[in-house]
Structure 1
């Protein structure tokens, strides 16, 4: 079920009304309702996917209880090993089986051996990469004694499958989200109103910006040989905006929906399009994933010398690339980002701890140059994320290096360009706020506020592009 679909527009109010008006102050029943709603939401794609998420949840629920009673290191290691084996085993089979098989066959082919691969037609379960990391955070934290294994079946299963962020994040930590399922929640009008505003802004970014750009980027990339280098470059720039609008739009909808039910989900995007360096960009883009790998992988490697930090950065980006998909292009994408990151480790470039042009209306020329350089670096590397397989990706790259780069590029429709301009203006003005329509600390007249809301709703309904799946559903 897409969070931008008519089905979800019907589903959400029904769950909301049952949650607050029928089951008010009945915590266990509210959690049970969320669990049922989440399984309906997830099973809407394919009911068979429910088997996997139920197995993952049950195994980690039992492992958590077992860890409560296991004092010996060996027993704790065995229990953690069971959780890692089951979760990573399912993820590895459904996401990486064919990749490893084909790579194995290709390696033998190089030495003159011909093999007949037993490739399987495997359907990748939506969101498996996300909920696998979410449930693993629970067992790892219980293993590290940061958390006590819960015996509350409904709370834990609802935590793993919480429908607003189930299929594309944010990837929540058990220490942050699970306790929210274990304590009474009270309806807060201000919080719910802010959640609705965040949902509206997410819908605008997804439907008006990303969906309109999707037609343009798909058409150009599928026939890249027929276009000038300038158009191919413009296509990559538009894909970066599409990518941002699509993914951050999903996160806004997820976080806003969580607010409607009294939950606080972690921030997943912090205006990364205004980042002044690659390290700053990765502190602001898909925060929940990058911080997950940092906290559960990198901190265990330790090391503070420059070569150790560089090694850790290389590992985290290679893992990040491989997490995104079973293709060499994703691994290459991660490697190139790691290499860009290295200059800030070895040459001690400036670290940015405050938002760009904090407290100012406009950035300085230096800041503007830094933002453009960072955005274009991200855009050029997005080629390896956007174009599949590697042979087409390299062909696209070669076509970019051409004298036709000076020609006037083919542009997307005006509504897509207008959407980008509005996105940039609003998010620049709001870059020190939680989200694009966060009105805290702003005293705007009621007429102005409602004009903005109705204006965005009008744009969503009348200027939205052809409905598209969220890009991250494939991961």
Structure 2
């Protein structure tokens, strides 16, 4: 089940909200926990046991770590053991095939790989578990004694499958005692619908352009077509993932939770360093707090900082998928960020903002080629077409067709990827009061009706980050 499906919007969500609000406050976490298990069971019935076992292991593991804190060796042993279990489960399901295939390629062996479907959201809930165990071990938070509360934190359906990666330190008080208000509920509905529009109206239609271009023989793609294709994917992945985050934040608001923002208009960044402060914020802060800083961060000199950044960006790339294209994509950003930190950033701050944005967008757009290519060689071949390295035509009839038939969706998407629309809506609602509220409601209902119309005739279209 996905948020952008008719069964979720018209059946699962209304029933969950109804049961949630007629249930006494002290049992509402149980409602969220059961709803989350049912939500997960819809798409991954065989992996419910895996999710529940992970919850049980970390629940008891954290309590034991806390109780044995006086014995540092024992506490550390339990912490490391639980950590190894969490990471091993993730590694097995996500990288087992990748590892065997590389062993076969390097050693000439013919070890067979049994295809295993990736458990939905395993990367996200594993990171939540790891951060929880680390925070308990470091005495940043007390271990949760209420199993239902802890299970709710790990499995809450609005964060389970694609984040944002919520920290227990941020959510503990809200899990124990949160206030549901009409204002939060109304904002949650609006935020959910805006995210739905991003996914269904923009991202899904942009995906048609990109899929059309990348399915062509590379020798027949014109330079202009290659740029139209990858620009479409650049916009698609932003609206797909930020749309999911909006929907998750909105769903949380409907039940009284307040989650941190996960995107802050990353495509207006003036540098790659700034881009990664604005893109997938919860993941970036996770790697910073649990890998970069424990390794020493920038406290041990430039050489060690560069090494730490390389480790973080290698891990960031590998986290996104079991393919060398993702590793290359991660290191690609690592190298650029290292260059920026060494000297380039101070020059980027001095040039006009528009040139910084152009610089960032070219690097980001090229990066998405590696991200969505089957191999590094294919990625370089496509990039070669973009920059006229081959004998491909500059423009052809296909390019003209793509422009004429998709100009409106591309224009709307580019505008919506900037803060302009948000600022206009905020101005209307804050300055015009009642008329502004009416306009906001009308916009939300229009998005809802249009999205429903698309979903009636659309096949299953999961969010891109479900596979990570």
- TM-score higher than 0.5 here? yes
- The alpha carbon displacement at 1:421 in A equals 3.1
Query: Displacement of 1:463 after TM fit?
Result: 5.6
**CA separation in 2, counterparts of 1:471 and 1:84?**
27
The equivalent residue for 2:378 is 392
Q: Is the 8 A contact 1:198 1:437 kept in 2?
A: no
C-alpha displacement of 1:105? 1.5
Secondary structure in structure 2 of the residue aligned to 1:347: helix
Which residue does the alignment assign to 1:373?
Answer: 359
Deviation, 1:352, is 9.6
- Measure the CA separation in 2 of the matches of 1:224 and 1:153: 54
Q: How does 1:18-417 map to 2 (within 5 A)?
A: 18-20=19-21, 22-25=22-25, 27=26, 29-70=27-68, 71-109=70-108, 115-183=109-177, 185-225=178-218, 226-302=220-296, 303-304=298-299, 305-347=301-343, 349-350=345-346, 366-400=352-386, 401-402=389-390, 404=392, 406-407=394-395, 409-410=399-400, 412=402, 417=407
Once the two structures are TM-superposed, the CA of residue 414 in structure 1 deviates from its matched residue by 6.9
**Deviation readout 1:156-180 (Å, 9 max, x if unpaired):** 0110000001100001111012331
Deviation per CA, 1:92-122, whole angstroms, max 9, x where unpaired? 110001111111121113xxxxx21121111
Gaps of 5+ in 2: none
Q: 1:405 to 1:319 in 2, by over 3 A?
A: farther
Are the structure 2 counterparts of residues 431 and 308 from structure 1 closer, same or farther at C-alpha, using a change threshold of 3 Å? farther
Gaps in structure 1 of 5+ consecutive residues:
110-114, 354-363
Cα distance between partner residues in 1 of 2:85 and 2:421: 41
Partner of 1:453: 444
What is the CA-CA distance between 1:137 and the residue it aligns to? 0.9
Cα-to-partner distance string for 1:351-397 (whole Å, 9 max, x where unaligned): 999xxxxxxxxxx9922222122112101111110111334333333
- Deviation string for 1:248-306 (max 9, x for gaps)? 00000001100000001121101101111100000000011111010001111114333
CA distance in 1, matches of 2:348, 2:249: 26
Judged with a 3 Å threshold, the aligned counterparts in structure 2 of structure 1 residues 275 and 102 are, in CA distance, closer, same or farther, namely same
Gap change, CA 1:437 and 1:91, over 3 Å in 2: farther
Structure 1 pair 86–373 and aligned structure 2 pair: CA distance change class (3 A): same
TM (normalized to structure 2)? Answer: 0.91
When residues 439 and 416 of structure 1 are mapped into structure 2, their CA distance, relative to the original with a 3 A threshold, is farther
Contact 1:164 1:258 in 2 (8 A): yes
Whether contact under 8 Å (1:167, 1:473) holds in the other structure is yes
Closer/same/farther in 2, CA of residues 378 and 161 from structure 1, 3 Å limit: same
For the structure 1 residues 47 and 466, does the alpha-carbon distance in structure 2 shift closer, same or farther, using more than 3 Å as the test? same
Distance 1:91 1:126 in 2: 11
Looking at structure 2, the residues matched to 443 and 107 of structure 1 have their Cα atoms a distance apart, in angstroms, of: 66
Q: Give RMSD over aligned pairs.
A: 2.5
Report deviation, 1:449.
Answer: 2.5
Aligned pair in 2 of structure 1 residues 450, 287: CA closer, same or farther (>3 Å)? same
**How far, CA to CA, are the matches of 1:77 and 1:146 in structure 2?**
15
Which shows bigger deviation, 96-105 or 443-452?
443-452
Q: Where has structure 1 moved over 6 Å in runs of 4 or more?
A: 435-440
Aligned 8 A contact 2:122 2:161 in 1: yes
Judging changes above 3 Å, is the alpha-carbon distance between structure 1 residues 16 and 438 closer, same or farther for their aligned structure 2 residues? farther
**TM-score with structure 1 setting the length:** 0.90
The whole-number CA distance in structure 2 between the counterparts of 1:275 and 1:339 is 18
Quote the offset at 1:74 in angstroms.
0.8
User: Any idea what SS the aligned residue of 2:143 has?
Assistant: coil
Q: Deviations over 1:110-141 (max 9, x none)?
A: xxxxx211211111111100000011111110
What's the CA shift for 1:417? 4.3
